[in-house]
Structures are given as C-alpha cells and as structure tokens.
Structure 1
Amino acid sequence: MYIKKERSTPCVECRNQRRKCIRSSQDADCLRCEKLGETCQQPTQSGEEHKDLEALKSQVRLLEEAVAFMEEQLQIQQTHDNNSSPCSNYDGTLVRSERQPLPALSNRMIQSLFHTWKVKIRDGTFQIETGIQNISELLQFHPSITYLSPLSQYYTGKSSTTGSWSSNSSSYSDDSLNDFYGGCNAGIIMRFGREGIASLVPSTIKILTRCMKTRLVNSPATNTITLPNALLLDPKALVNQLLDIYFKCHNKYNPLVHEPTHRAKLATLENPLTDLVTLGICSYVCSAGCRHLQLPLQERRAMGDYFHAKARSIILDQFDLPENRLENVMGINLLMEYMHMTFKFDECRQLLAMAFQILLDLRNDYPEFRTTGVNACFEGGPHSGQYTFTKDEDPITDVNKMLFTRHVTFSLWYNLLMDYISDDFAKNECLHFPIWKYMADEPEETKRFVRAQNWVINLYNHDFVMNFTKQSFRVLMGRTCTLSLESIVKLETVLQEWAMSLPAEFRLCHDLYDKEACFKAIDQTTDSVVLTTFIHFHIFHVSTYSCLLQPKSLHGETQQQLLSWVQERSLQKILRSCQLALYAIHRLTMAETNSCNYKLCASEFLFSALDVLVLLALSPSMHIANEARPMMKSCLNELDTNRLSIRIKLQSSHSSGPTTFNLSELLNGGKLDVDYYNQFPHPWLEMMYDASRYITSE
C-alpha cells in the first residue's frame, strides 16, 4: 500500500538562508537553529504561497501590457512610414541606439518581421523566434549586420567611444580609428577554428570534461582517510614546516594569505589542524611539488589527501556562517592546486560555485565594489576600455579588503575555466577583475608583484579585449569563432598601447617587440618580476594569435587573400613571441633559485607555448616550420629539466603505460585511464607530460 509522505516545510530561518532544515518532527525546533542559537519560527501555512502566486500573476500582466504596447508602436511606425517619403534615412540598424533615432523601416521589412517573428514570454523573459537557421538568412536583412562584430555593442557610428580608449601616449583620434575599424558596419567577416588532434589545449579540455564526470575508482572517501605517518609523531612541527615553505616559496608571488594575520591567529589555536586556511596551505604545499619539502613523494600525496579531506569537511560544515565567509573562500582557493593536480574537477566546480556566491555576498561589505544592473561587475564605476594603471598606489590597512580583491580574481578565473570545460559559459556576460591592493607589512617582492599583476589585469579589463578574447577563446575549446577584419587590425593597436603603458620598473627594454634588444636584456637581468611580466606579455600574444592560425575559407579571391594575410601575420607574431617567451622562461628558471613557485609557473607557460609550436611546426611555410621544430624540441627539453613530478617505479596493475594509449581514440569518445595517473604524486603533470610527448611525436 502506498503511503503519502508528509512534506517537510523548512523553518523561516533555514528558508531565508537557503539551507536544509533538520527537524525530528514538524512541530519540533530545527537542529541548525539550536546549534546557532537562533529562534526557530514555524512558517505560515499558505499565506506565503498565495502571496508568491499573486506576485507572479502581477508580473505576467505587466509583461502582457508591455507586449501590447510594443505591437501598438509597430503599427504606429508602419502608419508613419506609409505617410513619409520613400527616401527616408535608413542605416540598416534594427535596434534603437542611444545616439541615433529609430530608423524608418520599409513596409516589406515591417510586415516580414511582424508576421514571421514570434514573441513569447517564458520564465519572465522575452523570447523571439525568428526562424533564421544560418548566417545567410540573417544577412538578407542587411549586409552590414552588427551581430558578427564582437564590439558592436560598444561602437555604433561616428559618435562611438572608439576615441576614448587611447591613452595619452597614443595619437589616434576618432577619424583615424574609423579609417580601419567600421564598428557595426564592418563588412569583412572571418571565421576561425582549429582542426586535427595535434593541439594540446583542446585535447586536454576534452580529457578534463570526462574527468569532471568520472569519479576516481581509488579515490578515498572523506571518512576513510587515515592519518599519514609523517603526522603521527609531531604534527605541529610538520605543520609549521609546511607553513614556512608556503610563505617562503609560494605566497610571495601567489599572495593568497596575509602572513602576519595568519601567524597571529595560529598563536591562539591549540590544534592548527582545526583551522581551514592552515589545512588549505598544507594541501597546497604537498601538491605543488616543492623541492624544499624533504619527504617521499608518496608521503606527500598521502598528506595532500588527508589535508584536503579535513579542509573539505570544515567547508561543508561552516559554509553558511556569515563570519566565516572570507575564510571559506580562502580555503577553497588554496585547495585548487590539490584538486587540479588530482583530477577532482567535479568537486572543484562545486566548491568554486560556492566560493563565487560567497564573494557576491561579501562584496556588499565594500561600497566601492557594489554595482547594479544586469552586467554588474566587481569593479565599481565605468570601465570603457581606458588604461587606468596607477604606479604609485598607496597601501591599505584593511586586510580583509586586500584579500578580497585577490581572491575575487582567482575565483573568477577558475570559475571561467571550469565553465568553459563543462560547456556552460553563457552566464559570464561580465568578467571584470578588481585592481589588487597590498599592505605595508607585506614583502617588497610581493608589493612589486602586485603592481605588475595590476598591469596584466588592466588588459583583461579592457572592453575590446574582453569581447575579443570571449570570441577567440572558443577556438581553444574546439569551437568556431567569428571576428571582423577591423577588430583583428585594431587588436594590434590595443596591444601596442598596452605595451607602452608598462611602468619602467617592470619594463625589460624600451621595445618589447624588438627581438635583439629583448634577448640582450634577458641575458642581463635576474629580476623575476620583470621576467614574469615579460612572459605574461608574450604568452598573451601566443594564445590570442594562435586562434587565428586556421581561418575558414571565404568566397572570392579578395577574401582569400585577406585570410592568407591574417594567417601569415599571425604566424609571424606567434613565432616571435614564442622565441622571446621561451628564452625568458629559461632565464627565469636559472635566475630564480629561492622560490619553487616560478618553477611551477614556468611549466605552465611551457605547456602553453608547446601547444602553439606544434601548430607552427605543421605550417605550410617552410621557413616558419623550420624555425618552430627546434623550438619545440627545446621546449620539450625544458619540460624535462623543470619536471616537478619524478616517476616512481610502482608495481602497476596496468598492462600499458600512458605513452602507449591511443589519444585519437580517447578524443573520439574513449576512456582515459585516470587510475593509472592517480598512483603518481602529481597526476596532472604526469598526464600533461605524456600528452605533450605523444602529440609532438605524431
């Protein structure tokens, strides 16, 4: 006999906090309210539901009135067009602009739109069904369609803001910019993609997508993690050793924790393993492959598993406590290194979503970061693409505000990466990074790194770059992007202006594009911050222009010549930037001997450069191919030298090693043997190394 189960209605406090309400019976008090000392109030029976229903009905009525008003306006416009001259001014725009009056559409266009396009209301939003299936059908309305330009929403006509983005060092005006950039009237549209499996980034993305949906067979559950041997004798001494290594090697150039504040907090704790940030730091050091940690690699992996499990348990227990919001975000971001290394991408995505929601709530504590509107960003005020880098920014005294600006950047960046991996990137309409702050008691190296990082952040906050990279990033994910020729030409000017805005204290040489001058300057410098900034500069060129290496064919001889010009120019820029970046990476690994963080950064840079060098080695241009092959070999040798994970001879139950698996079969739906790599201390680096060797051998 089927017995209907009584629905459990949460109490008022749990409903407001959006958490699970745990009660033994409907009349009993909530266990969470008792634990937190809150008054447990029972919800009203049906008043709230009726109130919500009435609100929804009222919203529907307002939407119906809006639709009726829109139809009335269309009829009025149609009547006006019948009485006006047939030679009325029509610029081909279908949307009202802030700078232009509504264009007079022809009777045929009005009738076509009115009878074939359907307007619906679903989930409180307007949806328009046009019946358009491809770009050819779209272009019949007008050859200069704004949709295809990545900057159409920012550049509309002569009164566009194209002249406002240039800095004082640039002499470009509105007229000179319009000479080569037509805004929404861009007539030359190009499509780019990436074909074949000889590419590291798309291959890795496909592997990660499967890892997000696959639980490791040998991954220990939280309640089965045993205490590692290294923690049995003197856990406090080992934790102090891990903290010293973190603040010496990693936090200077990846500043996620304020050392004086954290040290003062630890002095008040009897057991440091009950502190979330401490557990996150310990997990970070055990996963980063630091050479200063004198422990066997398998022991490091066991400790990383243990620290991660305890930190995750604390996060799930206190995620809804307001006083622990920033601590929870710090713990999650510190665990990213471990989850990234061990393929825990499903869990990583869940924790990142939690951190992002906490940051949205935490932003309300800082008035300068509050924004309103659909595309609300973390940085308050307009950001119209101007370079606002300030060299002499003063330190602040609010440690929580300083940490907030940095953790927002890390959470946003990792969230964007996970969204792209999981094919769920439509929601990130605005990705604006706040300028980092720093404290007076931080190390001088950290202060310099923060100021240099703000110069890099300044580029990603540029409106043009945000829209351009949003399109070009699709190529790295194995999709097709659409760009106008004008935007590709404009990119060169924007990057040149970005290079000119670099402060002198971080500038390697006067011209960052001059190979001979840069090679000479690299040999003469040992400044890690200068070298890293220079590498960031050229790696951005490599990753961006690599998306333009495989344009889709266009009709007509002129269009084909333009595609060849874009491809050839992109090849030249990538080849130059690869040469300079690899030379600087080699110098960085030789110059920086105190910090292991730069070793890890160098490997990540090398993986990015190697992905593009494979494409250059397959170039139809013999000159570029001959230049790229020795560089590719040099990049692999550098990876061998900087390899942070040392192979250990294990008694593996797997019959075949990772270098023998069929990558082509894997990318076409095969299964990655994740458990093979899980037996190594750093599975991610092992897989990337093997994938690099396999792809370059094809």
Structure 2
Amino acid sequence: MRMVRNKPCAYCQKRRRRCVRPDPKAPCELCNQKQKTCIQGHLSNNSSSDSEEEQARMKIEQEKELLDQVQTLEDELEQMEIAIRQHRKQMLGQREWHMLLQNGSLQLESNIDSLEDLFHFGNAAIRYLSPFGKFFENTLRKTPEERVPSYIRAKVITLGKGQLEVLKTELNEENDEDTYCLIRSVNPRYIVSKLVDMYFSCLETTLFVLHEPSFRAHFNSLEDPLDDVITLAICTVAPLSGCQHNCFTNQEKRRTSEYFYQLCKEKVLGIYQDPKHILESLIAINCMQLFHLCTLRFDEICKWKDTSLIIIEFAYPEIIGYQPRNTSNLSELERIRKGVLFRNIYLINYTCFFFEFFFQYKSVKLLKYDLYFDCLPGESEKLQYHTETLNHVMELLFDDATAEVTSCVYRLAAGDTGGVQFELVLRIEQSVDKWWSKLPDRLKLCDHVFDLTKEVIENTVDVPKLKIAYYMAEHILVVYTYAMQTISVDKTDSASVAIKDKLISRIAKMTDVFVSATSKINSMDTECNCK
C-alpha cells in the first residue's frame, strides 16, 4: 500500500512546526505570519521502506539542527560573559555613596569636592533603585548594647562600663518594636532628674506653668518621682525641646515623651475631679496640650480644652482673666500659689483661643482684660525679664483701640465680611505710640516707636529690648496687612492713594524690624540657660 503526504517547507521543518498550506501553490500559514520565504516541498509517493529511510534522514537533520542551536547558545553565553566582565571592570572605577544614619536622618559621608566628583557619583545611580548603593543592605536592627540610649552612652567615660551595666535592664527580643523601648533599655527613674533640669533650662519661658524653687523642694521630697503627676507632666514635654542641648535622638524624643505621657494621662484622669488636686491637674493638662500639639492629636486638644475650662469655671470663677497687681498683702506661699494658678488659667484660655481660631476657624472677639503676671520670688532673671516683657505686651494687646481692631482682624481672618476702618488704624498708631512712651527706658530701643529701624535692631544685644520690638512689630504688621486688604485697588482718589502709600511704607519698615529682631534673637540663643 502506498501513501501520499506533503513534505513541509524548509522554515516549518527547521522549527519543527506543522506546515499548513490551504493552497498547494501558495505559501504556508506560518511563513505568511512570519513574513518568510516559503520553500515548498514536493509531493512524493513512498512505500513503507521509503518511509523508514525518510524518517532516518529527518532524524539526522534534526540532530544537526539541535547541534547548531546548542552552538549558537554557547556563542551567545560567551558574549554575555564578556559583556559582564567589561561591566564589572567599569564598575570598579566608579565611586559609591557612603551614607550614615544618625539621629533619624541620612548623612552623606562621601567627599564631594568638585562638580566632576558629583558626576562620578551620579554614574553609580544606574546600578541600583536608589543612589545609595549597598547602604540599605545593612540591617538597622541594633544589638542590646547598641540600643542603650545616647544619653547613657555619653556617660560611659564618667560612669564606667561597670556602672553602665547597672542602668541596663533585660531586653525583650520578642517585642523589639514596642513603643516603650525606653523601659527595656534604661530605668526611667534614672532620667527623671535630667528631664526636670532640661525643662527649667530650655522650656521655662515657653511653658511657664511652675515656680521652680517650690517645685524643686517638692521634687526633692518625693520617694518615687513616677507617682507625682507634675513630674510626669514635665517629663512629657521636656524631651520635645528643640534646644541644641537636648541629648535625645529624634526617635528617643518621641518614645520618651510617649511613655511619660501615658503615665501622666492616667494620673490626671484619676485626680482632676478632686478639688484638692485642681492646680496639679491644670499644670499637667497644659503640659499635655503641648505634647498633643507636637504630635498633632487635635481631638485630644479639644477634649482636654473643654475639660480644663469646666474645671476653671467651677473652681476659680472669680479670677478668670484678671490678676490683681498688688500682691504685697499676701503671704509668700499664697502669692506663689495664686501666681502659678493664674499663669495656668491664662495658658488654658490661650489654648482655647488658639484651637478655635486656627483649627475651627471661629470668629473670636478679644475681650478687654487687665492681665498681669506676677514676678514670683526666687525665679530666674531670665524668667523675670520674660514676665515683665509679657506684661507690657498685654497692655498693648488689651488697649481699647487695639482690642477693637484686633477683634476685627480676627473676624476677617475667620472668613467674615467687613473691613478695618482707617480711623481705627490711626487710633492704633496713637495707642502704640502712647504705649511705647510709657515703657521704661531699659526696654526701649529709641524714643519714638516709628523711629525704630533695621540698623538699630542689628546693633542691639539687649534681649528684653529686642523682644519688645519683636512683639510690637508683629502686632502692627497683623493690623496693617489686613487693613491693606480692605482698601479697594480701584480707588484712585488722593485720600485712598495716600492711605495705601502710608500703609505700604509702614508694612515695609515693620517687616524689616520684625525679620531683624527674629534673626537677632535666634542667633543669641536666649531661650536656654544651659552652659
């Protein structure tokens, strides 16, 4: 019996694919698809013996084709190895980034002395997903010895390794990412006194809620500082100081504050309804509010704001917003207690205004108060200057004309319609000039307030004078900038043009004074008592 079959074309035979040819005279489907020249086979009549010979021949051809493919792959592999060797040789001449993770930020250790060096470093970026090379291949997991906080490691020279080991407690490897890692690396009681010192050195004028001599006596009498709510409140805010003398790393700041905050919060929740502990509760709440603000816990700010206002309303309704200036008839203990109480009440009311105005966009009316902060016995000279400066600023802020204009400005800032009348702006100038003339000479930089210039500020090293100038310039800028916005740009009459020119001149001058005073105060590092 004889059989007839179509011989596949050369391309299909090479690829060992089925050769499908609908028309015997047309190219096959695969050649059409790949756009190849179809070399057709011929019809052949084979007997069974011829078929065996054909199969043997095809097998030989397939083996030869496989050998050719293997040879091709070997040639390609050899070329690839050559290319890899050349690439590695090229990499050896390139520079790599060397990075150091310090205080939560990356520091570049590689020296870049010229623009050419920078280009050399830039060539390395194509080898990685980031230009930092193998830096992130290193683990950041610390050994138990390395997890000892920096403020403990800094004492190794004075304490010695033996004493350092006493400060370390057992480390729980299973809970390495616990928020309260401070407890596993050092007993918190060892750092409480350090945090207290840091507060009174770096944060006393920022959050003046305590009388230092009285608290020091109270602190020294404590058996366990972690049982005292005021101590816990101080330890909550002290690590948040941005002072250069703060020995904590960024990670330690947050974790240390978080740990003491939880302890302080539990204590306050247990005592704030007790009439005997109202002052302690107010002090702790003010400290916690600063922590809430730094950690963006706005719900907690609102909750504790309302709680503190209720405490004040029921406990001390008679002294809200007012403090008698004459305290000579009071005993020293009573004078200190009332002075500290009033400072905390003021800060709570300020927090209420700050939150409602800046976060809830409420229109706030500035009421007229006769505010006065008493300089308490035994306080540092820095805090006494700060208190005196603040008293003079309050006199300016709560002047009749100033309070009216400031309330109008607050309404505009909150989105209400209206404007600032130019007559009020003139009254502000008169009020500021009158207030400046009443200042003691030790706080004035010049005889007339509008004679103050950038050059006068830069030649001054007296901090109280600089702060008075800073607050005055800030206040005038707030009023004048909003008054400027209420004047229509379409008005071209002589009166409107004169008013705009006057406001622009005042704003430009006070901007120079404000910026110069800010830079001068910051450069002198006056907010810290650390030596």
* Separation (CA, whole Å) in 1 of partners of 2:349 and 2:204: 19
Where does residue 313 of structure 2 map in the other structure?
360
Matched, 1:574 2:507: yes
Find the partner of 1:379 among 322, 347, 351.
Answer: 322
* Cα deviation, residue 453, structure 1: 1.0
**Structure 1 residues 54-111: Cα deviation after superposition (integer angstroms, max 9, x where no partner):** xxxxxxxxxxxxxxxxxxxxxxxxxxxxxxxxxxxxxxxxxxxxxxxxxxxxxxxxxx
Match of 2:341 among 379, 383, 404: 404
* 1:547 matched residue in structure 2: 482
What residue is the counterpart of 1:531 in the other structure?
Answer: 466
1:48-59 correspondence to structure 2 within 5 Å = none
Deviation at 1:595, TM superposition (A): 1.1
Q: Give, in angstroms, the shift of residue 550 of structure 1.
A: 1.7
Q: Structure 1 stretches of 5 or more lacking a match? A: 1-223, 370-376, 382-388, 598-698
Q: Which has the higher helix share?
A: 2
CA distance in 2, matches of 1:302, 1:596: 25
Instruction: Please give the secondary structure, in 2, of the residue aligned with 1:482.
Output: coil
What residue in structure 2 maps to residue 350 of structure 1? Answer: 303
Residue of structure 1 in register with 2:251 after alignment: 298
Using the size of structure 2 for normalisation, the TM-score is 0.60
2:190 aligned partner: 237
Structure 2 vs 1, CA of residues 348 and 566 (structure 1 numbering), >3 Å: closer, same or farther?
A: farther
- Distance verdict in 2 for CA 1:306–1:479, change over 3 Å: farther
Partner residue in 2 for 1:160: none
Give the Cα separation in 1 of the matches to 2:484 and 2:308.
Answer: 37
Determine if the alignment matches structure 1 residue 416 to structure 2 residue 353. yes
Q: Conserved in 2, the CA contact under 8 Å of 1:528 and 1:588?
A: yes
Which residue in 2 is equivalent to 1:588? 521
Distance in 2 between residues matched to 1:490 and 1:393, nearest whole Å: 38
TM-score (norm 1): 0.46
Contact 2:323/2:373 (8 A) holds in 1:
no
What is the identity, as a one-letter code, of the residue corresponding to 1:572? S
Is the 2:363–2:414 Cα contact (8 Å) retained in structure 1? no
Identity %: 20
Please tell me whether residue 321 in structure 1 is matched to residue 274 in structure 2.
Answer: yes
Q: Name 1:277's counterpart in structure 2.
A: 230
Letter paired with 1:535: Y
Instruction: Name the residue aligned to 1:42.
Output: none
Does the aligned pair in 2 maintain the 1:228–1:306 contact within 8 Å?
A: no
Q: 1:231, 1:514 → 2: CA distance? A: 59
Provide the rounded CA distance (Å) in 2 between the counterparts of 1:419 and 1:594.
28
Q: Distance in 2 between matches of 1:331 and 1:349?
A: 15
Question: Is 2:455 the partner of 1:519?
Answer: yes
SS of corresponding position for 1:283: helix
Give the match's secondary structure for 1:439: coil
Q: Kindly provide the CA deviation profile for residues 243-287 of structure 1, in whole angstroms up to 9, marking residues without a partner as x.
A: 111111221564221112212222232321232222222222222
What does the per-residue CA deviation read over 1:513-557, in whole Å, with 9 as the maximum and x for residues that have no partner? 2245x623x344323222122111111111221212222649986
Instruction: Find the counterpart in structure 1 of residue 394 from structure 2.
Output: 457
Q: 1:440 aligns with which of 372, 377, 383?
A: 377
Distance 2:229 2:418 in 1: 42
RMSD, aligned α-carbons = 3.1
Tell me: CA distance 1:590–1:339, structure 2 relative to 1, closer, same or farther (3 Å). Answer: same
**In structure 2, C-alpha distance between the alignment counterparts of 1:592 and 1:395, rounded to whole Å:** 36
Taking the aligned partners of 1:501 and 1:305, their CA distance within structure 2 comes to 46
Mapping for residues 611-630 of structure 1, pairs under 5 Å: none
Separation (CA, whole Å) in 2 of partners of 1:295 and 1:542: 37
Task: Name 1:490's counterpart in structure 2.
Answer: 427
Contact 1:286 1:303 in 2 (8 A): yes
Q: Give the greater-gyration-radius structure (CA).
A: 2
- Give runs of aligned pairs for residues 229-268 of structure 1, distance below 5 A: 229=182, 232-252=185-205, 254-268=207-221
Distance 2:527 2:427 in 1: 41
Change (3 A) 1:394 1:530: farther
Question: Is the partner of 2:420 in helix, strand or coil?
Answer: strand
CA distance in structure 2 between the aligned counterparts of 1:308 and 1:396, rounded to whole angstroms = 32
Which digits, 9 at most, give the CA deviation of each residue in 1:28-75, with x for residues without a partner?
Answer: xxxxxxxxxxxxxxxxxxxxxxxxxxxxxxxxxxxxxxxxxxxxxxxx
Tell whether the 8 Å contact from 1:291 to 1:596 is kept in structure 2 after alignment. Answer: no
Q: Name the CA shift for 1:502/1:594 in 2 (closer, same or farther; >3 Å).
A: closer
User: d(CA) in 2 for partners of 1:358 and 1:326?
Assistant: 10
- The residue identity in structure 1 corresponding to 2:474 is I
Amino acid at match of 1:409: Y
| Distance of 2:355 and 2:306 partners within structure 1 | 10
Structure 2's unaligned 5+ residue stretches are: 1-176
